[in-house]
Amino acid sequence: QKEVEQDPGPLSVPEGAIVSLNCTYSNSAFQYFMWYRQYSRKGPELLMYTYSSGNKEDGRFTAQVDKSSKYISLFIRDSQPSDSATYLCAMSARRANSKLTFGKGITLSVRP
């Protein structure tokens, strides 16, 4: 079993839809959970950052972490064509200035 598994996609939704992106992991040492967004021909950019279990909301984006199930999610409300990108989950046992383990990424397309 890989340390981090992410739904492979791709995913295509109509504008305005609620999008749910998920990752599971096997390493109990992971404490820091991140979602990165990567536009075509660009480097990944941090979208959401969560420590331990719980929810975090930022505008249309909500990150959820369930450490008991080793499951993290990213929800996008009222999705926009500008949200079309590849989304990567990432996790680490320590802070961001240490080894991050990434999911393979899922490509999201939001249709106008």
Partner 1 sequence: EAQVTQNPRYLITVTGKKLTVTCSQNMNHEYMSWYRQDPGLGLRQIYYSMNVEVTDKGDVPEGYKVSRKEKRNFPLILESPSPNQTSLYFCASADYNEQFFGPGTRLTVL
Residues near partner 1 (CB under 8 A): 6, 41-46, 49, 88, 95-100, 102-105
Query: Minimum Å distance from CB 18 to partner 1?
Result: 25
Query: Minimum Å distance from CB 23 to partner 1?
Result: 11
Q: Which is nearer to partner 1, 67 or 104 (CB)?
A: 104
Report phi then psi at 99, rounded to 5: -65, 125
Q: Which is nearer to partner 1, 18 or 96 (CB)?
A: 96
Q: Which is nearer to partner 1, 17 or 84 (CB)?
A: 84
Q: Are 33 and 50 in contact (CB under 8 A)?
A: yes
